[in-house]
């Protein structure tokens, strides 16, 4: 079978690219990385009209071929390299915003790829009185043009016909760039054996973005630039103005603008409300509040169900499997560990639904707009709000989303503080500790536990702002920060897009986090079940020697034996070793084990608790929460998890940097170990100090 | 010399040029072209950034950036 045709989707942000991608690929997509960089590369498979397989690549949205951010750079890199370039480009144009969308379109056409143009949002364009003559537009552009409805997918069958027979590329460039830099282009074409004028010209404009160019080639280009008097900025400005002149001509000939009575559009009306002086912020914080209530209220039923079914699965497995180390590994190590992952899914899904709704509807751009001035006071940028809010789901996509920030210093500051915003991995830790000490009662109609949760999130968010202020004072910047940003129309979110995003993100989370949690659960189970020498085998003997057997029932005796075993296992010894360091925070060695294992990933906490307490007590009975509630403090005889201990732990988890994956991604994004190391120490230092303060204050 | 930062709410003007070369590249790409109309639609609650209509769509800019756009 021959190699499948590769198709690249190209377009402005908000032009409806992802709707088309989702329509064509359904759930048959995967998110990978572009070579060398960590920009999300969405790929999927679809079929042509006649049924042959095609590979679809969704390129990041960009306004022009000249990149402003690392995300946008990928577009030019992919299209300029013969090895990476797709066989066919599909340019998605927002018909209601044709003028600005055509800039990128004419640039891509001039790169000389075989292309099809897809017009979306034609209904909106018609509402605004634009009558687009599609055949005329196709004639002007020299490439096929199709109307596609991004909501229904109507028109995609026509597009698929081009996947069987890709059109020829336009023979002549739209804008003759040779009138700017004819000599340069001729020399570069000869030197690097390129046939396309515009590509040769781009060697002068963005030599750093061209893949596989050696230092010598770059020097060569510099020399040619100097010899031919190539002026990058001046040429770029001239080119842009000339292209827009061309575009105006094209639009004049192919679009009829009917005079319609200028009504106040829905977007204008909504902006009056959403960006209102006071109302705007009120609505924003109200929405955040609702999101957290939803996470808490709607997820409790499925979470309880998951928790209980895993607990009873463990108990059942212990009964049916032939007893031995393997049965215990499965029932006490793997199953509780798995349960610790699956239990997240309802909350993560709700959070992702909310975030993607905010983005899909166009509201997120208004949040950036409203928050810019405030964020600048803290040394950030309005755009930092998107990573900071997505960090509430997971710091990893958040750190990656910081790529959208053009200014280097703003971006670095955002990356450094984003993990302070409480991510969904902290959620189960919060959930279980809040459930232990905060009553499940209503206060003024709101759930008290939900309010406590919101409080923790706000604490994380505000400490991120304060940390940003400190970083912005310390870090140096040579670059100017700016915010030139489109405010897209408000639109009804497309449920299909929301659902695909939620499904993809939850799947990635379960698989990626799942691997770590499973491995750690198994290791931990082994460390907690085995000890040095023959201390485990002799446990019963030792315990009966220590206690007076007479007054003790069999169950109490067994309990003492298993407690003794845990205490003397490898994990127990390790926990005991660090106990002096964490005792001032109110923790015992069992919590110590959980904290240390959570340095791999926070969500391990709950799984660790499950493993420790199922080994330490009568295995398989009751949920994790019940076991933690029953845990006694050997010194006081009261419950282990007092308000002081629980809050000290909560505060510790708000601040501590306990996620290897985040540190790894920060390394990849900043290309230096310096930043993740600083992050690890400053966050964990804050965690220790504040947890200490809280425990001393409450106890 | 008036700039887009001096526009009043609802006021429309014609773009004449730019006073900053490197920023002008971004603004040109986003459709702020000499000869185009620019209309101040509304400002953010704290007075900065501003939202303008240009080339038939809505764009937000900081006041600093708007002050680079010279209007007639």
- Tell me which residue of A449, A388, A471, A463 sits closest to A690, measured CA to CA: A463
The answer to whether the CB atoms of A373 and B61 lie below 8 A apart is no
- In sequence order, the 6+-apart residues with CB closer than 8 A to the CB of B15 are B4, B32, B33, B34, B35, B36, B37, B38, B54, B69, B70, B71, B72
CB A420 within 8 A of CB A464: yes
Using the predicted structure, report yes or no on whether residue A616 has a pLDDT greater than 60. no
Average confidence (pLDDT) over A598-620: 67
The residue with greater pLDDT, A519 or A468, is A468
Which residues on B lie below 8 Å from A487 (Cβ)? Answer: 51, 58-60
Q: Which pLDDT value is given to residue A478?
A: 67
Which residues on A lie below 8 Å from B27 (Cβ)? Answer: 484
* Segment (H or E) for A31: strand A29-33
Neighbours of A244 (CB within 10 A): 23
Q: Which pLDDT value is given to residue A208?
A: 73
Range ranked top by mean pLDDT from A69-73, A353-357, A391-395, B67-71: B67-71
Which residues on A lie below 8 Å from B41 (Cβ)? Answer: 268, 271
Using the predicted structure, report yes or no on whether residue A174 has a pLDDT greater than 60. yes
Residue of B nearest to A130 (CA): B56
Number of domains in chain B: 1
The pair phi, psi for residue A55, each rounded to 5°, is -100, 130
Q: Is A480 on the interface with B (CB under 8 A)?
A: yes
Task: Write the pLDDT tens digit of every residue in A74-116.
Answer: 899 889 888 888 999 999 999 988 999 999 999 999 998 899 9
Q: Which pLDDT value is given to residue A548?
A: 62
Residue of A nearest to B51 (CA): A487
CB A373 within 8 A of CB B64: no
DSSP string across A490-551: P----HHHHHHHHHHHHHHHHHHHHHHHHHHHHHHHHHHH--STTTTTTHHHHHHHHS-STT
Specify whether A307 is located in the same domain as A397: yes
Total beta-carbon pairs less than 8 A apart between chain A and chain B:
102
Range ranked top by mean pLDDT from A332-336, A514-518, B41-45: B41-45
The answer to whether the CB atoms of A382 and B49 lie below 8 A apart is yes
Which residues on B lie below 8 Å from A63 (Cβ)? Answer: 29-30
The confidence band for A653, taking pLDDT boundaries of 50, 70 and 90, is very high
Specify whether A545 is located in the same domain as A623: yes
Q: Where are the extended beta strands (E) located within A327-412?
A: none
- In sequence order, the 6+-apart residues with CB closer than 8 A to the CB of A59 are A8, A9, A10, A74, A75, A78
Using the predicted structure, report yes or no on whether residue A617 has a pLDDT greater than 60. no
The residue with greater pLDDT, A564 or A413, is A413
Q: Is residue A268 part of a domain?
A: no
Tokens of A649: 């732990």
CB A104 within 8 A of CB A63: yes
Secondary structure (H, E, C), A279-316: HHHHHHHHHHHHHHHHHHHHHHHHHHHHHHHHHHHHHH
CA distance A403 to chain B (A): 17
CB B59 within 8 A of CB B31: yes
CB A93 within 8 A of CB A15: yes
Specify whether A105 is located in the same domain as A195: no
Tell me the H-state helices in A255-278.
266-274
* Distance, CA of B59 to CA of A11 (rounded, Å): 18
Which residues on B lie below 8 Å from A265 (Cβ)? Answer: none
* Sheet containing B37-43: order of strands: A485-486, B57-61, B50-54, B37-43, B12-18, B69-71
Supply the range of the domain harboring residue A464. 281-474
The answer to whether the CB atoms of B60 and A370 lie below 8 A apart is no
Number of domains in chain A: 4
Range ranked top by mean pLDDT from A500-504, A547-551, B15-19: B15-19
The answer to whether the CB atoms of A100 and B62 lie below 8 A apart is no
DSSP string across A443-499: ETTEEHHHHHHHHHHHHHHHHHHHHHHHHHHHS---S-----EE-PPP----HHHHH
Q: Is residue A495 part of a domain?
A: no
Substitution target in B45, B61, B65, B66 with the highest count of A β-carbons within 10 Å is B45
Specify whether A137 is located in the same domain as A249: no
Q: Which pLDDT value is given to residue A393?
A: 74
CA distance A679 to chain B (A): 31
User: How many CA atoms does the CB half-sphere of A513 hold within 13 Å?
Assistant: 32
User: What CATH number is attached to the domain comprising B52?
Assistant: 2.30.30.90
**End-to-end Cα, chain B, rounded Å:** 8
Average confidence (pLDDT) over A614-623: 54
Average confidence (pLDDT) over A396-408: 79
Specify whether A238 is located in the same domain as A292: no
Q: Which pLDDT value is given to residue A619?
A: 42
Percent of chain A with pLDDT over 70: 94
Q: Which pLDDT value is given to residue A201?
A: 92
Using the predicted structure, report yes or no on whether residue A34 has a pLDDT greater than 80. no
* Distance, CA of A107 to CA of A246 (rounded, Å): 12
- Between the alpha carbon of residue A278 and those of residues A274, A384, A559, the distances in Å are 9, 22, 60
Percent of chain A with pLDDT over 90: 32
Using the predicted structure, report yes or no on whether residue A473 has a pLDDT greater than 80. yes
Residue of B nearest to A366 (CA): B44
Task: Write the pLDDT tens digit of every residue in A327-378.
Answer: 878 887 788 777 777 877 887 788 778 888 888 888 989 999 999 999 999 9
Q: Give the one of B29, B33, B57 whose C-beta lies nearest to A66's C-beta.
A: B29
Tokens of A565: 């075993």
Q: Is residue A512 part of a domain?
A: no
- Between the alpha carbon of residue A117 and those of residues A13, A17, A423, the distances in Å are 16, 12, 40
Task: Write the pLDDT tens digit of every residue in A266-292.
Answer: 888 899 999 988 899 999 989 988 887
User: What CATH number is attached to the domain comprising A139?
Assistant: 3.40.50.300
Specify whether A133 is located in the same domain as A224: no
Dihedral class, residue A191 (left if φ above 0, else alpha if ψ from -120 to 50, else beta):
alpha
Which residues on B lie below 8 Å from A240 (Cβ)? Answer: 25, 28-29
- Considering only CB atoms, which residues of chain B are within 8 Å of chain A? 21-31, 33-34, 41-42, 44-49, 51, 55-62, 64-65
Q: Give the one of A240, A268, A374 whose C-beta lies nearest to B29's C-beta.
A: A240
Chain A, residues 360-379, CB within 8 A of chain B, namely 365, 368-370, 372-374
B49 upstream amide cis, omega within 30 of 0: yes
Supply the range of the domain harboring residue B51. 4-71
Q: Is residue A72 part of a domain?
A: yes
Q: Is A249 on the interface with B (CB under 8 A)?
A: no
Using the predicted structure, report yes or no on whether residue A411 has a pLDDT greater than 70. yes
Q: Which pLDDT value is given to residue A32?
A: 61
Chain A, residues 450-479, CB within 8 A of chain B, namely none
β-pairing, A40-47 with A88-94?
A: unpaired
Q: Is residue A408 part of a domain?
A: yes
CB A59 within 8 A of CB A75: yes
The confidence band for A31, taking pLDDT boundaries of 50, 70 and 90, is low
Q: Give the one of A236, A373, A484 whose C-beta lies nearest to B27's C-beta.
A: A484
Substitution target in A284, A371, A485, A491 with the highest count of B β-carbons within 10 Å is A485
Q: Give the one of B33, B57, B60 whose C-beta lies nearest to A244's C-beta.
A: B33
Q: Is residue A273 part of a domain?
A: no
The residue with greater pLDDT, A531 or A456, is A456
The confidence band for A580, taking pLDDT boundaries of 50, 70 and 90, is very high
The answer to whether the CB atoms of B59 and A244 lie below 8 A apart is no
Q: Is A106 on the interface with B (CB under 8 A)?
A: no
Dihedral class, residue A142 (left if φ above 0, else alpha if ψ from -120 to 50, else beta):
left
Q: Which pLDDT value is given to residue A696?
A: 93
Specify whether A313 is located in the same domain as A192: no
Average confidence (pLDDT) over A546-574: 74
Range ranked top by mean pLDDT from A2-6, A395-399, A493-497, B67-71: B67-71
β-pairing, A115-120 with A145-147?
A: parallel
* Distance, CA of A468 to CA of A476 (rounded, Å): 13
Which residues on B lie below 8 Å from A275 (Cβ)? Answer: 42, 44-45, 51
DSSP string across A594-617: HHHHTTTBTTHHHHHHHHHHHHHS
Q: Is A105 on the interface with B (CB under 8 A)?
A: no
Which residues on B lie below 8 Å from A367 (Cβ)? Answer: none
Q: Which pLDDT value is given to residue A532?
A: 83
* Distance, CA of A351 to CA of A649 (rounded, Å): 23
* Distance, CA of A576 to CA of A103 (rounded, Å): 66
β-pairing, A88-94 with A5-11?
A: parallel
Average pLDDT, chain A: 85
Beta bridge mates, A7: A56, A88
């Amino acid at each position: 079978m021959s190699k499948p045709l590769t198709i690249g989707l190209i377009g402005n942000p908000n032009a409806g690219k992802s709707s088309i991608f989702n329509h064509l690929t359904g759930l048959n997509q995967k998110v990978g990385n572009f070579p060398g960089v960590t920009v999300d590369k969405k790929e999927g498979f679809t079929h042509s009209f006649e049924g042959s397989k095609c590979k679809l690549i969704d390129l990041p949205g960009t306004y022009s071929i000249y990149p402003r951010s690392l995300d946008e750079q990928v577009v030019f890199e992919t299209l300029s390299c013969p090895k990476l370039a797709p066989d066919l480009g599909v340019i998605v144009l927002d018909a209601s915003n044709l003028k600005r969308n055509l800039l990128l379109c004419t640039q891509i056409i001039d790169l000389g790829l075989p292309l099809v143009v897809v017009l979306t949002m034609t209904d909106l364009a018609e509402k605004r009185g634009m009558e687009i003559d599609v055949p005329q537009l196709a004639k002007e552009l020299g490439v096929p043009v199709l109307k596609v409805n991004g909501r229904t997918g109507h028109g995609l069958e026509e597009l698929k016909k081009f996947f069987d027979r890709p059109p020829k590329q336009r023979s002549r460039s739209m804008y003759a760039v040779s009138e700017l830099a004819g000599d340069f282009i001729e020399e570069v074409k000869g030197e690097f054996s390129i046939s396309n004028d515009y590509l040769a010209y781009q060697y002068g404009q963005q030599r750093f973005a061209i893949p596989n160019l050696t230092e010598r080639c770059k020097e060569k280009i510099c020399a040619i630039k100097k010899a031919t008097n190539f002026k990058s900025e001046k040429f770029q400005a001239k080119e842009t103005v000339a292209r827009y002149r061309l575009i105006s001509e094209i639009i004049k000939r192919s679009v009829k603008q009917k005079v319609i009575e200028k009504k106040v559009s829905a977007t204008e009306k909504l902006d009056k409300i959403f960006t209102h002086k006071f109302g705007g912020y009120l609505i924003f914080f109200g929405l955040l509040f609702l999101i957290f209530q939803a996470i808490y209220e709607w997820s409790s039923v499925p979470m309880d169900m998951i928790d209980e079914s895993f607990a009873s699965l463990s108990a059942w497995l212990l009964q049916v499997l032939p007893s031995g180390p393997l049965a215990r590994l499965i029932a006490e190590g793997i199953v509780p560990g798995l349960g610790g992952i699956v239990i997240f899914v309802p909350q993560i899904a709700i959070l992702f639904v909310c975030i993607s709704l905010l983005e899909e509807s166009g509201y997120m751009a208004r949040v950036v707009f409203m928050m810019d001035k405030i964020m600048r006071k803290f040394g950030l940028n309005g755009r930092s709000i998107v990573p900071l809010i997505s960090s509430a789901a997971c710091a990893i996509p958040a750190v990656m989303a910081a790529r959208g920030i053009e200014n280097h210093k703003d971006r670095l500051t955002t990356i450094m503080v984003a993990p302070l915003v409480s991510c969904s991995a902290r959620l189960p830790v919060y959930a279980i500790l809040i459930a232990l000490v905060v009553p499940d009662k209503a206060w003024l109609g709101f759930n008290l536990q939900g309010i406590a949760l919101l409080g923790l999130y706000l604490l994380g968010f505000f400490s991120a702002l304060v940390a940003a202020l400190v970083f912005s004072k310390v870090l140096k910047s040579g670059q100017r920060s700016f915010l030139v940003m489109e405010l897209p129309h408000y639109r009804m979110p497309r449920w299909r897009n929301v659902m695909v995003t939620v499904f993809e993100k939850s799947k990635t989370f379960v698989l990626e986090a799942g691997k770590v949690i499973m491995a750690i659960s198994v290791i931990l189970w082994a460390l907690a079940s085995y000890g040095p020498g023959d201390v485990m085998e002799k446990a019963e003997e030792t315990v009966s020697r220590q206690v007076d057997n007479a007054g003790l029932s069999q169950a109490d005796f067994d309990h003492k034996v298993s407690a003794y075993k845990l205490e003397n296992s490898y994990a127990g010894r390790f926990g005991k070793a660090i106990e002096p360091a964490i005792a001032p925070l109110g923790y015992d060695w069992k919590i110590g084990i959980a904290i240390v294992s959570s340095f791999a990933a926070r969500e391990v906490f709950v799984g660790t608790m499950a493993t420790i307490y199922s080994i330490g007590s009568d295995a398989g009975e009751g949920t994790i929460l019940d076991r933690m509630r029953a845990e006694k403090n050997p010194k006081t005889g009261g419950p282990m998890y007092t308000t002081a201990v629980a809050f000290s732990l909560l505060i510790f988890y708000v601040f501590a940097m306990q996620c290897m994956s985040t540190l790894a991604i920060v390394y990849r994004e900043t290309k230096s170990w310096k930043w993740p190391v600083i992050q690890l120490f400053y966050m964990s230092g804050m965690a220790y100090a504040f947890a200490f303060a809280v425990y001393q204050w409450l106890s | 010399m008036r700039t887009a930062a001096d526009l009043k709410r609802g006021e429309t003007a014609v773009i004449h040029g730019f006073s900053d070369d490197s920023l002008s590249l971004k603004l040109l790409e986003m459709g702020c072209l000499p000869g185009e109309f620019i209309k101040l639609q509304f400002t953010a609650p704290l007075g900065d950034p501003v939202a303008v209509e240009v080339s038939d769509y809505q764009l937000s800019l900081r006041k600093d950036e708007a002050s680079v756009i010279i209007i007639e």
